A and B are shown apart, each in its own frame.
Chain A
Amino acid sequence: MGEFIPEDRPNALRRAWDSDLAYSFRTSPVALVSGIVALTIILGAVLAPWVAPHNPFDPATLNLMEGFTPPMEPNAFTGNVFWLGTDNQGRDVFSTILYGARTSLFVGFMAVLFAMVLGITLGLTAGFRGGWVDGLLMRIADVQLTFPSILLALLIFGVARGFIPPALREALAIWVLIVAIGLSDWVQYARVVRGATMVEKNKEYVQAARVIGAHPVKILVRHILPNVMGPVLVIATIGLALAIIAEATLSFLGVGLPPTQPSLGTLIRIGQGFLFSGEWWILAFPAAALLALALSVNLLGDWLRDALNPRLR
């Protein structure tokens, strides 16, 4: 035994296709549909500069005469047809949605990454060290959990905005937003990782690694972390949906991103202003896009949680 590798060892792609997770994905209609919806929106957002029919931020391509064109109807002056209509400045709503989703997804992914790194680090530290470090971190987590995370994000954003000099507020808004949403959401990661670390650290393989003198950080990263990645991924997926909604809410309230960097929330805020004059499409399509994105990511998270839970197989 040992060095023997079979001739027809399937390649990585084949193995991924045959894995339990991929099988569960292929056979779950909900997962398939939400996967396709999420992937379409993400691809559209990432490729926005190449996919979008117009660049909504290039004033040279805008024609004010084309403002308020209803969807699928030729414009009265130029005869151009816009799938989803145009807004007051003649911007193609479809293009603004693609660029808006780009901003929303960027904030969402970065916030989740930040929360994940912070939560995992603190969770590993708390679980491995125990003692007063653990006590303090978990007290903070307890207190933080009693507040709704969107309120926390709002408060952190407001406080941070206060401390930033006025000249930098616009430029730093997106990063402040990411940190605020991330800080409001680290507790779940920390709790799961801490729990798993406390279980794993007493197992024999960790004891063995300690005996041969492995550095604690190496033990944590190489041996304990891989064991907790499943639940962390589930939390991260659902966290992405929550982060996107949190960002949209803050931007809708006018305390998130500045109008120069519109996200889906900003677009909905703008669209609400045209509701009373009958231009419903400026509101409806960004709202539908936000909903489709948040719902599909959420359902993917639900599916992932069930698929990774061996008790449900």
Chain B
Amino acid sequence: MIAFILRRLAQSVVVMLVVALISFALFRYVGDPVASLLGQEATAADREALRARLGLDQPIWVQFYEYIGRVLRGDFGISYRLQQPVAQLIMQRLPATLELALVSGIAAFVFGVALGVYTALNRRGWISNAIMTISLIGVSLPTFLIGVLLIWVFAVELQWLPSFGRGEVVELGWWRTGFLTESGRAALILPAITLGLYQLTLIMRLVRAEMLEVLRTDYIRFARARGLSNRAIHFGHALKNTLVPVITITGLQMGSIIAFAIITETVFQWPGVGAFFINAVRFVDVPVMAAYLMLIALIFVVINLIVDLLYYVVDPRLRVDRGAARH
């Protein structure tokens, strides 16, 4: 167990180091950081002073070492475009992204499991067939097109919901939340659907397939023979056993929700980290790009680590195999 965790940790550290190297190279070799910070009318002495202050006169490996040190302290440099510390800019935008990801993740999980169970139990019903057909379309529609179509129907034609922004936000310390106002909650609906739809269809199809598999097994048949109620069989026995793979997949999907938030945030002009990153790419704002790269890599590495560990805890076979191999 400890060896397994250590190996996973070592792997994660290597991945993070490689990403750090890429973002360091980006930082160091793209454009001239001195020129982008000082502007046109700086003197040669100013340049030299800044060069020394930024440590750009040091050997390259010293610079990389110091870069990692700065990153670990949460210092990602100054945005070229906005002339403010990147870490601060990202922290301002993080709550918006996290609220969006949280709501769509929970919605995708709840509705995905519910619809999956329904379609598995009523396999032949026309409602199930309709749900399955719609889900097929949902999978093949690109995320940005879903967003655009939702805006068209619900914001332009029906005018029920806002098409951009977060609505009114309330400040709770440094965290700006949209949950507490009417307009904030209304503004959340369309982006959350856009972001969650793909995950929802994925979870639904997975739950349905797993349920159908489990419902055919012997222990379900025996449970029926024991005269248990349908409710107890479906939810107490069948669903519980389907949830292991569903939870792992959902965990892994949290990473893609963060990733697809880039697209959703751009479509809905949601003031989060993803839209911020897209603007950084457009204007080649290198410090922001480098910081986002590190942030995304960290999120994925942590999620994968947690899922691996959960696998280990949840699936006894993994433990038994390793145990057997050791003895």
Give me the interface of A with B, judged by CB distance under 8 Å.
139, 143, 146-148, 150-151, 154-155, 157-159, 161-163, 166, 245, 248-249, 252-255, 265, 268, 272, 275-276, 280, 283, 287, 290-291, 294-295, 298
B255 contact set on A, CB distance < 8 A: 146-148
Known contacts A158-B289, A255-B281, A291-B145; is-contact A146 B304 (Cβ 8 Å): yes
Do residues A268 and B148 form an inter-chain contact, with CB atoms below 8 A? yes
Do residues B289 and A248 form an inter-chain contact, with CB atoms below 8 A? no
The A interface, classified by DSSP as helix, strand, loop or mixed, is helix
The chain A residue sitting closest to B31, CB to CB, is A162
> Given A161-B281, A253-B266, 9 other A-B contacts at CB below 8 A?
A162-B284, A245-B142, A255-B282, A275-B156, A280-B152, A283-B152, A287-B148, A287-B149, A291-B140
CB proximity of A281 to chain B, nearest CB, Å: 12
- Proximity string of chain B (174-198) to chain A, C-beta cutoff 8 Å, 1 when within and 0 when not: 0000000000000000000000000
CB proximity of B70 to chain A, nearest CB, Å: 19
Give me the interface of B with A, judged by CB distance under 8 Å.
11, 15, 22, 26, 29-31, 140-145, 148-149, 151-152, 156, 163, 252, 255-256, 259-260, 262-263, 266, 277-278, 280-282, 284, 286, 289, 293, 296, 300, 304
Known contacts A146-B255, A147-B300, A255-B282; is-contact A159 B289 (Cβ 8 Å): yes
How many angstroms from the CA of A252 to the CA of B266 in the assembled complex?
A: 9
How many angstroms from the CA of A143 to the CA of B8 in the assembled complex?
A: 12
How many angstroms from the CA of A143 to the CA of B13 in the assembled complex?
A: 12
How many angstroms from the CA of A248 to the CA of B304 in the assembled complex?
A: 29
CB proximity of B281 to chain A, nearest CB, Å: 4
Known contacts A147-B300, A155-B293; is-contact A249 B278 (Cβ 8 Å): no
The chain B residue sitting closest to A169, CB to CB, is B284
CB proximity of B271 to chain A, nearest CB, Å: 16
A283 contact set on B, CB distance < 8 A: 148, 152
Do residues A253 and B262 form an inter-chain contact, with CB atoms below 8 A? yes
Known contacts A147-B259, A148-B260; is-contact A249 B151 (Cβ 8 Å): no
- Ranked 5 nearest A-B pairs via Cβ: A151-B259, A162-B30, A158-B281, A148-B256, A245-B142
How many angstroms from the CA of A64 to the CA of B266 in the assembled complex?
A: 30
